[in-house]
Structure formats: structure tokens, C-alpha cells
Structure 1
Amino acid sequence: MSPLELQHGVAGSVATLLHDAVMNPAEVVKQRLQMFNSPYTSVVACVRTVQRTEGFGAFYRSYTTQLTMNVPFQAIHFITYEFMQEQLNPHRDYHPQSHIVSGAVAGAVAAAATTPLDVCKTLLNTQENLALSSVNVSGHLSGMLNAFKTVYQLGGLPGYFRGVQARVIYQMPSTAIAWSVYELFKYLLTKHKVERRASL
């Protein structure tokens, strides 16, 4: 791993800290609304019910797990993207195909590697009663370690990789689009800046 790849990995990780602090409550609400037989009828109803019955802390119950998942995800994502660019586009020219392929591979690798953490985060966010009662967990599940133990009780090692294919399939086009758009705008802005300097 080159120093530049490592720097990109650190930059992506640090950006994730702030992003997740703001977005974790929204993720909790989204996942609760997506649950099978969700008791919530709207976003507002979900927020009010969770706040009243579980307290404000419920919106951040999975925050450490979210960070534990997203920091490695972004580090792996950025490092893999830079590695792929080094292989496919060593001169770092604007080359849409290399950006799309590198972005897709980076998303797939990061998604597959962090699926166990995503499974634990989902269990913490949804607090699925049927799953928790089947392993005699009463009350609210909290903490990453408890989530890891509970997922293992529910499904053994394969339980940590439930949904890995769907997660990879979702991330590949998402990261391919994000990187190709990022590289396009970077190219256009840099080209515009160079042209302005040349005209002076």
C-alpha cells in the first residue's frame, strides 16, 4: 500500500465520523420503517414513538457499530479505488472506464468485507423482537459485542454474511456512479482552471 493510498483511506475515515453522527438517527428510522410488519406509519410517528418508549439514546444505540462498519468501509473503499486506479490509470488521466471499474470494484470489496458489521448494525437498529426472543434476549439489545454474540446465536458464522450478495450488488453501481461523477467534475473544474490561466 502506497502512502497516497493510505492518506486517502484516512481522509475517507475521518469524513465518516461526522457524517455518521448526523445520519445515524435517520438510519434508525429508515430501518424501523423497513421492518416486516413495522408498527410505524410514518417517519414522524416512528421518531415520536422511539423517543417516548426508548429515549433519545435509541437513535444512537448503533452509532459505535455504525462507525465500526463505516470507518473500515470507507478506508477499504478509498484504498481499493486508489489501488485500482494505479493499475488501470497510472497517469491519472481522465478516463471514464477506469473510474467506473475502479469505483465498482472498490464498492464491492468494501461491502463484502464489512457485511458482518452491517448485519450487527441492522439488528441493533431494528431490535427485532422475534429474533431476540428466540435467543432469550429480553429488553433492548445494546452494544456491538452483544450484537455480534446474538447474530452468532441466531445463525452461526453464515449469519454474519446474510445479504452479502445484495449488499455488493447495491454498492457496485452506487460507488461506480459516485466516482465517475466525482472524476468528471474534477476534470472539468481543473480543465476550466487551466484554460483560464492560459488566457491570462
Structure 2
Amino acid sequence: MVSVQGRMCDIPFEEERDPYESLPPSSTSATHALAGAAAGILEHSVMYPVDCVKTRMQSLVPDPKADYRSVYDAFCKIVKYEGLMTTARGINAVVGGAGPAHALYFACYEHIKKTLSKGQTGNHFAHATAGCAATLVHDAFMNPADVIKQRMQMYNSPYKSCYHCAKTVYRSEGYRAFYRSYTTQLTMNIPFQVVHFMTYEWIQDHLNPDRQYSPLSHVISGGVAGSTAAAVTMPLDVCKTLLNTQENCARTHISYIEGMVSACRTIYEFQGAWGFFRGLQARVIFQFPATAISWSVYEFCKFFLTKRQTESKQISSVNTLSVSASAPERAR
């Protein structure tokens, strides 16, 4: 109840209710898209040096100067012999791709999840289906960015800039080079996102069953979900890196490696079964804080934007009631 010029009027919204609790029905796709874009850009920017180390450690036949024993050893050698800025090579491609990719990713996920779950928590089918659909859209935007990024990250990369890399790859290999790993990316990311979203929502069901804005629960849920999914899908990530960089082809001048089967055979030939898990530590170290950052930033932005929308509606409703209440008095 709000007093307007001496009268008590009912406000159509619930003023005392936590705005975050009503996010599913009230927040818009634009809110999810903006929050998702901010989350994606910050996630990839902050953790980019670790991603660079992971790519280097997945190298099939590393140069003696780039044969690393651990994540710490790799980072120290890169900084010592190549400079700190080397760990940021290719970051422009990721930032440019992560914004629109994550905007569509989260908007698609929230829309499908809300449609299928119908407001019920614990609906893992809805979470898994929404995660799969969101991945299809996300990877269509991110795959070319990943190709450029990983080629820039490799040891002794010949490319001067992201633009130079994109232009050279297109001229020498055609547009197919930017999507050579797309099916492998989907093969990896669909199970990754299914495990990721189901784990995140499951932990949220226990830590934050009311789905209120809770930064700590978002950080814990996001970190555990991301690292779990990363460990499960590690072999597929190694195959994706090989298809993106075509490292073996550059060294032996054989025909391009195409598809999952060819990538698996090449990795096993060079490094055996252990080759599918090279860089696992770096990937888990990358994914835990990365997904924690992504979810916490996403939930904060979603909460902030929705709260602003709610406050704007409240002010508009109060002004409308004030005008309506004063109209009869002016008529007298």
C-alpha cells in the first residue's frame, strides 16, 4: 500500500519482494544477453594467460624450448624467454567473439530453460536441453575466434596480429579452416555444457534453493561445475586444439587433418593415450575460476539490470497513480 495525496492505493507490483526471486518471469532476453556478454568477455580476458599455457601444453611435438613440465614451468618459461605480453597474443579475437557468443548463449539458455522447466527447480532435462541448444549458437560464433586465438598462442607463431592470422589462414586454407573443428567442438561442448549446467543447477538446488542473488553460491557452483565438465571432456579438447592449429601438418607437410577420427589417430600416434590428457591441469585451473567468474558476473549483471528495470516500473506506477488521484481534485 502506498499513500498518494492522502489516499491508500494498491501498487500492482510487490514492493517488499526480492527482485532477484522474480527473475525468471520478469527479466527479458535483452537482460540475459547483456549480462552474458559481460560475463563472457571478463571470463576470457582474466583467464587468458592460463588458456595460452593450456594450448602450448597440448602441442603434439613441442619444440625443445617449449617443452613444459607443468603449468607453472610453462608460464615461467613463456614470460622469461618470450615476454609477458606473449601470454596475451590473440586476446582480441576472443574478446571480439566472446561478447556476441555469450550474449546469445545465455539468452538462449534462459529462454529454453524457462520454457521447459515451467518454473520448477530440479528439472535436469530442461537444463541439459537448454545447454545443448545454447552451445550450438555459441560455437557458431566462437569457432573462428578459437582458430585465430590458438594459432596466435602457439610457440613461434608466424602471425603478427589477429587480422593477419585471419587473412593468411583464409588465403591459404579457405573459409573451411575456421570451421574445421566445429563438429569436434560440438562433440566436446555439448557434453561439456550438459555436465556444466546440470552440475551448476544441482549445486544451486542445495546451496541456493530459493534462487536468490547469492554471490558465494554462484562462485562455488560455477567453479565446481566448470572444472568437473573440463575434466570429463579433456580428450576432446586436445583433438579440437589439433584441428584448429593443424600443428602436425605444418611440421610434416601432410594433408590437412580432418575430423575427430583423424585427430584421435594422430594424437595417439605421436604421444599415446597420455596425449589425450596433456594440459589437463592447466584446463582445470583455467575452468574453475573462469566459470566462477562467468556465473558470478552474469548473475550480478542480471540482478543489477533487472533491479533497475523493477525500480523504473515502480517509479512509473507511482507517478501514474499520483496523476490519477489528483485528476478528480482538479476537476472540482
* TM-score in same-fold range (> 0.5): yes
Compared CA separation, residues 22 and 146, structure 1 to 2 (3 A) = same
- 1:16-35 aligned at under 5 Å gives the runs 16-35=135-154
Amino acid at match of 1:96: P
**Aligned counterparts of 1:24 and 1:107: Cα–Cα separation in 2:** 19
2:190 matches 1:60: no
Residue-by-residue CA offset, 1:132-180 (whole Å, 9 max, x unaligned) = 64xxx82111101111111122222221111111111111111112212
Q: Does structure 1 conserve the Cα–Cα contact (< 8 Å) formed by 2:231 and 2:284?
A: yes
**Aligned counterparts of 1:155 and 1:56: Cα–Cα separation in 2:** 30
User: Given the alignment, which residue of 68, 78, 89 partners 2:208?
Assistant: 89
**Aligned counterparts of 2:305 and 2:153: Cα–Cα separation in 1:** 40
**Aligned counterparts of 1:48 and 1:192: Cα–Cα separation in 2:** 43
Stretches of 4+ aligned residues off by more than 3 angstroms: 129-133, 185-200
Amino acid at match of 1:87: H
Q: Which runs of no fewer than 5 residues in structure 2 stay unpaired?
A: 1-120, 319-332
Structure 1 match to 2:114: none
Structure 2 match to 1:154: 270
Q: TM-score, normalised by structure 1?
A: 0.87
2:158 matches 1:39: yes
Residue-by-residue CA offset, 1:109-140 (whole Å, 9 max, x unaligned) = 0111111111000001111137864xxx8211
Q: Does structure 1 conserve the Cα–Cα contact (< 8 Å) formed by 2:249 and 2:256?
A: no
Structure 1 match to 2:193: 74
User: Given the alignment, which residue of 289, 292, 295 partners 1:173?
Assistant: 289
The alpha carbon displacement at 1:193 in A equals 6.1
Tell which has more relative contact order, 1 or 2 (C-alpha 8 A, sep 6+).
2
**Aligned counterparts of 1:123 and 1:132: Cα–Cα separation in 2:** 12
**Aligned counterparts of 2:307 and 2:165: Cα–Cα separation in 1:** 48
User: Given the alignment, which residue of 116, 140, 154 partners 2:256?
Assistant: 140
Amino acid at match of 2:188: M
Q: Does structure 1 conserve the Cα–Cα contact (< 8 Å) formed by 2:122 and 2:202?
A: no
User: Given the alignment, which residue of 102, 108, 115 partners 2:221?
Assistant: 102
Q: Does structure 2 conserve the Cα–Cα contact (< 8 Å) formed by 1:131 and 1:154?
A: no
**Aligned counterparts of 1:132 and 1:121: Cα–Cα separation in 2:** 18
Amino acid at match of 2:281: Q
Residue-by-residue CA offset, 1:70-97 (whole Å, 9 max, x unaligned) = 1111111100001111122223232221
Compared CA separation, residues 174 and 139, structure 1 to 2 (3 A) = same
2:303 matches 1:184: no
**Aligned counterparts of 1:192 and 1:39: Cα–Cα separation in 2:** 48
Paired residues in the alignment total 196
Structure 1 match to 2:280: 164
Q: Does structure 2 conserve the Cα–Cα contact (< 8 Å) formed by 1:29 and 1:47?
A: yes
SS in 2 for 1:160: helix
**Aligned counterparts of 1:197 and 1:78: Cα–Cα separation in 2:** 33
RMSD: 2.3
Amino acid at match of 1:43: C
